[in-house]
Structure 1
Amino acid sequence: MRRGVRFVVPAGIDDPDQVSGGNVYDREVRDGLRRRGWAVDLVETSDGAGATAALSSVPDGSIALVDGLVADWAPEALETEEHRIRIVVLAHMIAAAFPDAPPDVVEAERRSLRAARAVVTTSRWTADELAARGLADPERTTVAVPGAHEATLGAGQGRNLLCVGVIAPHKGQDILLDALAQLPSGDWSCSIVGSADSFPRYARRIARKAARFDGRVRMIGVLDPETLAEEYRRSSLLVAPSRVESAGMAITDARAHGIPVIAAEVGGIPDTVAGGGAILVRPDDPGALARQLGAWMTSPALRDRLRREAALARRATPRWEDTVTAIEQALVRS
């Protein structure tokens, strides 16, 4: 018998101009389940009303996999349907982990997670945080870390820095640029890849900061998968200066390419870089980041060691099929 699931996600997950880690993850889950024979009824919505309609039309006893962002838009819908259908919430992040999260958003998250029969998180850190905050029972929580596709080993031998992620305060691009401003001019370059649409005021500030580097810092915007893969291949270091991060899909992609990483020691990042080829720094500290970047730029021995470690660590990079397997098991158990 063919299994089915209603997958409720934010609108635009296939829009090439709205690339985000959450959208990529949701697409991979949808496509992976379909390859395994699941009937995935994908419903995209941009508000709580759409989420309510999507859940109310799920047949009795059927499974609804709900992206956590959507779930937080309509907690009352999950509460209404929790005894009629099998709700699984896919929690990419924890709203309560953001220091400036509005109280109503935190409360909506608490209600939606409480109404779920099962919860899927994208990192062990997120699962542990949900348990510590009393938001999800560990026994009904499944960890499905982001995977990566098979990738070519990066060939970047220079000092080409790469930072990938939506241009947003929690991603910390301002921390990176403040760190770079503390370094002497040299033969380094930095490419910042990501959408500027979500936080336009912040993105404009980042663009102004980047312009001060006389072309050494490029704001590239959103790239298609093939062009982004090429950007990884030409880069010699990924920098992830996040203030909040559940796992770090850009880090996983860098690992798949065997590219070393300097990242903030926050959230699920330490787990993502386990295995070597990475340096962790204190979060929200441009000076600490500048010191490690300076050491990497000036020490050939350090660069060689990190490259060797990263090339070895890429063998243990999780694949998307592993992610889909974990989610499939959570759906079956729900």
Structure 2
Amino acid sequence: MNPRRAAFAVPGDLTTLTGGYIFDRKLLASLRALDRDVTHIALGASFPDPTRADMQDAARRLAAVPEDCPVIIDGLAMGAMDHEVLTGMSAPIVALVHHPLALESGLSAERRDHLHRTELRNLGQAAHIVVPSPHIGSLLVSDYGVAQDRITIARPGSDPRSGQSGKSDPPLILSVGIQMPRKGHDVLLRALARVSDRSWQAVVAGAPLDTAHAGMLARLVGDLGLADRVTLAGQVPGVELTRLYERAHLFALATRYEGHGIVFDEAMAHGLPIVTCAVGAVPDTVAPGAGVLVPPDDPDAFAEALASVLDDPKRHGDMAAASIAAGETLPDWATTAQVVDDVLSRVATGALTP
């Protein structure tokens, strides 16, 4: 038996540039760097709305994992699986819940209730649950009845940065998030239209995963007269995205909900003032003094916050200093991986059970 063995089941393409996939990819690499033998189990890309073929494939792959090999299952699959897939496993399960599927924006009441029931039942099958923030942990306790001692917080790590350089002129407002309703890019665009009398340019970087919503955003840019100032850049490669962070004047994301928000850590690692919304884990993630947080779905409030940072160099400087200080204290990925590694060791020895 190899006590350092584990598996990590993730649906879809592990290289996808979203916060959840970045977390999974970095965690996998960092666990391996700790000399843990981790097998990556690539599940079908159709989760969290799995096809019958992807569900059957998941059942086959997970049932094949031996009982002495704990399996981390990403919440995108864990929350949507047939319960029989999990009960058919002999290996112990560690659920990695970035945020509950039932909290995604734009769901019908019927779909939300279905996902809540599925997640509730499936989480009961896990020997332990890992979450990226205290907010998600509290949510699982309050809304899913999970005992606090079954939850471990593993805050996402951060890569060290060399500092800011080559700031753009006019000032660049950077937003990073996939094009889907939860990210609130429509609110950001309406807010930008309200501060069009200021000097700025804006880039929204994020894959158009919801094609209908992405089409709406493209039309909205034109309707608001922002076509010459706003770029919907789509998915941006890592090197180019780092360059955007380095050139940016401030970071803005009008999100409707975040389970953690790796992009906020990235913004603080680059010393950027942040304008965002007081929802989900955001207040716990954005350091005091580094951001202006407003209510969600309020373009007027968001515009006022943008203007307050654009118009006041001292405020911008104070926020940037707070952001830099916070960025210097962020954990690295080795620290995050060590937290999860400890969970895997305790699960493997039977110290943690459902």
TM-score normalized with structure 2 length: 0.89
Matched, 1:245 2:255: no
1:92 is paired with a residue whose SS is: coil
8 Å CA contact 2:43–2:57 kept in 1: the answer is yes
Residue 24 (str. 1) matches residue 36 (str. 2): no
Instruction: Tell me whether 1:89 sits opposite 2:98 in the alignment.
Output: no
Aligned counterpart, 2:6 = 5
Residue 274 of structure 1: which of 266, 284, 287 is its match?
A: 287
2:37 alignment partner in structure 1: 39
d(CA) in 1 for partners of 2:306, 2:330: 24
C-alpha deviation, 1:40, in angstroms: 0.9
How much does 1:184 deviate?
3.0
What is the DSSP-based 3-state SS (H/G/I as helix, E as strand, rest coil) of the residue aligned with 1:115?
coil
Write out aligned runs for 1:188-203 (5 A): 188-196=200-208, 198-203=209-214
**Structure 1 residue corresponding to 2:194, chosen from 160, 182, 199:** 182
* Equivalence map 1:95-106=2 (5 Å): 95-98=101-104, 100-101=106-107, 102=111, 103-106=113-116
Is 1:54 the equivalent of 2:61? yes
Amino acid at match of 2:26: E
Q: Which moved more, 1:161-170 or 1:206-215?
A: 206-215
Q: Deviations over 1:190-229 (max 9, x none)?
A: 1000001x21000011112223313210111112211111
User: What is the alpha-carbon distance in structure 2 between the residues aligned to residue 297 and residue 99 of structure 1?
Assistant: 30
Residue 51 (structure 2) aligns with? none
Cross-structure match for 2:180:
168
Task: Decide which of 46, 57, 75 is 1:68's aligned counterpart.
Answer: 75
Instruction: Write the mapping of 1:211-222 to structure 2, written as runs, cut at 5 A.
Output: 211=222, 212-222=225-235
Greater Cα offset, 24-33 or 100-109: 100-109
Q: CA deviation at 1:318?
A: 2.2
Residue from 279, 297, 307 that aligns with 2:320 = 307
Distance 1:333 1:2 in 2: 10
What do residues 148-191 of structure 1 show as CA deviations (whole Å, max 9, x unaligned)?
10112224375210000111100110010011111233320110
Alignment partner for residue 151 of structure 1, among 161, 173, 178? Answer: 161
Q: What value does the CA root-mean-square deviation take over the aligned residues?
A: 1.7
Q: Deviations over 1:15-69 (max 9, x none)?
A: xxx3211111111111011111111110111132222122100112320110011
Structure 1 stretch 91-100 or stretch 40-49: which is displaced more? 91-100
Instruction: Note the C-alpha offset of 1:319.
Output: 1.5
Q: Percent identical across equivalent pairs?
A: 28
Contact 2:5-2:69 within 8 A present in 1 as well? yes
Tell me by how many angstroms 1:278 deviates. Answer: 1.1
Give, in angstroms, the shift of residue 231 of structure 1. 0.7
Q: Does 1:204 align with 2:215?
A: yes
- AA of the residue aligned to 1:240: L
CA distance in 2, matches of 1:210, 1:161: 15
Is 1:259 the counterpart of 2:272? The answer is yes
Deviations 1:87-123 (A, max 9, x none): 0000011123346541222211112111111000011
- Structure 1 contact 154–236 (Cα < 8 Å) conserved: no
SS in 2 for 1:23: helix
The separation in 1 between residues aligned to 2:82 and 2:75, in whole angstroms, is: 10
- Provide the residue aligned with 2:350 in structure 1: none
Do the aligned residues in 1 keep the contact of 2:163 with 2:246 (CA within 8 Å)? yes
**Contact residue 252 and residue 317 of structure 1 kept, 8 A:** yes
Task: With the length of structure 1 as denominator, give the TM-score of the two structures.
Answer: 0.94
Q: How many Å separate the matches in 2 of 1:321 and 1:37?
A: 12
Displacement of 1:3 in angstroms is: 0.8
